[in-house]
Structure 1
Amino acid sequence: MSHQTGILATDELRDFFAASKEGGANEGRYRAIKVSIENETLVLSDSGLADGTFEEDWDTIVLPMLEEKQPCYIFYRLDSRESHGGFEWLFLAYSPDLAHVREKMTYAATRATLKKEFGQGQIKEEVFGTTPEDISLAGYHKHLQAQNAPAPLTEAEEELRYIKQQEGVSTHIHVETRQQTVQGVAFPIAQAAVAKLQQLKEGQISYVRLELDMDRETIELSGAEDTTVQSLPQRVPEDHPRYHFFVFKHTHEGDYQESVVFIYSMPGYKCSIKERMLYSSCKAPLLDQTEHNIGITVSKKVEIDDGAELTEEFLMDELHPKKNAYREKFARPQGPAGKRGPRRMIRGTNTPSS
């Protein structure tokens, strides 16, 4: 709730308002009306006559009215009319940073009273500024752009918006294709990457790293070589997401195994929202393509944010989770000695007492 100061307009100001906007000889003549507070009263401080369009007149009339350390109000007439036929006006509230705090508070608390004195029905918009640039024609255009722009989004809302945009990409899919049931964005895999994945399948190499080319919308080869578990963390970038296919050679319960592990590395918020969302959206279609088109069977899929997580113990736990230790069933406490406990003597109601 705004606090009112009790400051009212002078009769002269009220008469000027009426003459400048109520269908008389002066209607349309005045382009700007400057109002100030003097001796705790709203007074007519200055005025400007229309010469061209409201945009042509703006800076030549409004800017000379502004003082470096003095707040003021300016009613500025547009060329458009409201539904009842009168011209539409802008209410410009100017409160420079260099003004005294008490004056700024007084002007802020009196704004509602002044708009009521002028007639709120003809005020199309209100513009507030602390510098002449805010009150200039360029400042007004920025004000309009800010009003028409969508509200700023939180990071979660920005990610959701990006997901919705990607849902509209490549939605026309033939009914016989397998990708109809795969959610995400299916970027094509570059031929060099396909060749290295084929070598990994055939046991010629043990590691392939893939990256997204977001401009060309393809999945490109980022690296391919024989890699041990000890050197695997060094293959994970610290500032960009990547896809990794690694053949983990190990022994479990006496059996030698070679398991293909798919590793999705995502270094948190070090990368852009677009990058995070694209990598997340392309992951499922990539795995679908490598399984059905190349023939790689992935034994385990893991997601990490730091390459240091990729230890032999970590991969063993992911591939072969430790079973819960045998827990003995709850032992029911023993009852009293004998099957039914000691026999109780129950005296009948008709048994005479001895």
Structure 2
Amino acid sequence: MAMVQKLECLTLQANAASGVAVYDECKLKFSELKSKRNYRFIVFKIEQQQVIVEKVGSPDESYEDFTNALPPNECRYAVYDFDFTTDENCQKSKIFFIAWAPDTSKVREKMVYASSKDRFKRELDGVQVELQATDPSEMSLDIVKGRAL
């Protein structure tokens, strides 16, 4: 019996160290974005110690629609399916993971998002480029284009 309690305690410690839980809907929506291209973007929020889907953008939404979906004073995670044309005139797509942590957000919130980011990103198999932004200029369309090529 003591061994079971010890294992439960270790499990709780491991979960606490790695951040928050990931809601299954997050993985499902990401899979749909990646394989079916049902969405242009997904915005994720940490709420009550778990990551949830806050908003999805339809395939015809723009990059501006995506950036407008991010709150100006709160942290978020997001994925964006970026379509582009290479110098060889080939149509391509890359999935960006964006950790949005504006300077104006609360310190504790920034700490929670920062400590949970790597674990959450690992749950999203297929992310190709990661961006961290504290200001809209750090994730401008020009920067995204530059990182995609």
Instruction: Tell me the TM-score normalized by structure 1.
Output: 0.33
Q: Secondary structure at the match of 1:97?
A: coil
> 1:78 & 1:68 partners in 2: Cα distance?
22
Q: Indicate whether 1:129 and 2:127 are aligned.
A: no
> 2:144 & 2:83 partners in 1: Cα distance?
15
> 1:11 & 1:124 partners in 2: Cα distance?
21
**1:25-73 deviations in whole A, cap 9, x for unaligned?**
xx12211010110001000011111227xxxx212x2221121210001
Please state how far the C-alpha of 1:10 moved relative to its aligned partner. 0.9
Please state how far the C-alpha of 1:128 moved relative to its aligned partner. 0.9
Asked if 2 retains the 8 angstrom alpha-carbon contact of 1:13 and 1:44, the reply is yes
Matched with 1:71 is 75
Q: Alpha carbons of 1:21 and 1:68: their partners in 2 closer, same or farther (altered >3 Å)?
A: same
Asked if 2 retains the 8 angstrom alpha-carbon contact of 1:134 and 1:140, the reply is no
Structure 1, unaligned stretches of length 5 or more? 81-86, 149-354
Asked if 2 retains the 8 angstrom alpha-carbon contact of 1:4 and 1:113, the reply is no
Please state how far the C-alpha of 1:96 moved relative to its aligned partner. 0.5
Q: Secondary structure at the match of 2:18?
A: coil
Q: Indicate whether 1:12 and 2:25 are aligned.
A: yes
> 2:53 & 2:112 partners in 1: Cα distance?
17
> 1:144 & 1:118 partners in 2: Cα distance?
19
Asked if 2 retains the 8 angstrom alpha-carbon contact of 1:33 and 1:76, the reply is yes
> 1:6 & 1:105 partners in 2: Cα distance?
10
**1:236-276 deviations in whole A, cap 9, x for unaligned?**
xxxxxxxxxxxxxxxxxxxxxxxxxxxxxxxxxxxxxxxxx
Select the structure of larger CA radius of gyration.
1
Matched with 2:63 is 58
Asked if 1 retains the 8 angstrom alpha-carbon contact of 2:33 and 2:81, the reply is no
Asked if 2 retains the 8 angstrom alpha-carbon contact of 1:66 and 1:132, the reply is no
Q: What is the correspondence of 1:1-354 to structure 2 with a 5 Å cutoff?
A: 4-22=17-35, 27-51=36-60, 57-59=62-64, 61-79=65-83, 88-119=94-125, 122-141=126-145, 144=147
Structure 2, unaligned stretches of length 5 or more? 1-15, 85-92
Runs (4 or more) in structure 1 with deviation over 6 Å come to none
Asked if 2 retains the 8 angstrom alpha-carbon contact of 1:78 and 1:88, the reply is yes
Please state how far the C-alpha of 1:17 moved relative to its aligned partner. 2.2
Q: Alpha carbons of 1:19 and 1:140: their partners in 2 closer, same or farther (altered >3 Å)?
A: closer
Instruction: Tell me the TM-score normalized by structure 2.
Output: 0.74
Task: Give the aligned CA root-mean-square deviation in angstroms.
Answer: 2.4
Please state how far the C-alpha of 1:4 moved relative to its aligned partner. 4.2
Q: Which has the higher contact order (CA 8 A, sep 6+)?
A: 2
Matched with 1:352 is none
Query: What is the identity percentage for the equivalent residue pairs of Structure 1 and Structure 2?
Result: 27
Asked if 1 retains the 8 angstrom alpha-carbon contact of 2:73 and 2:104, the reply is yes
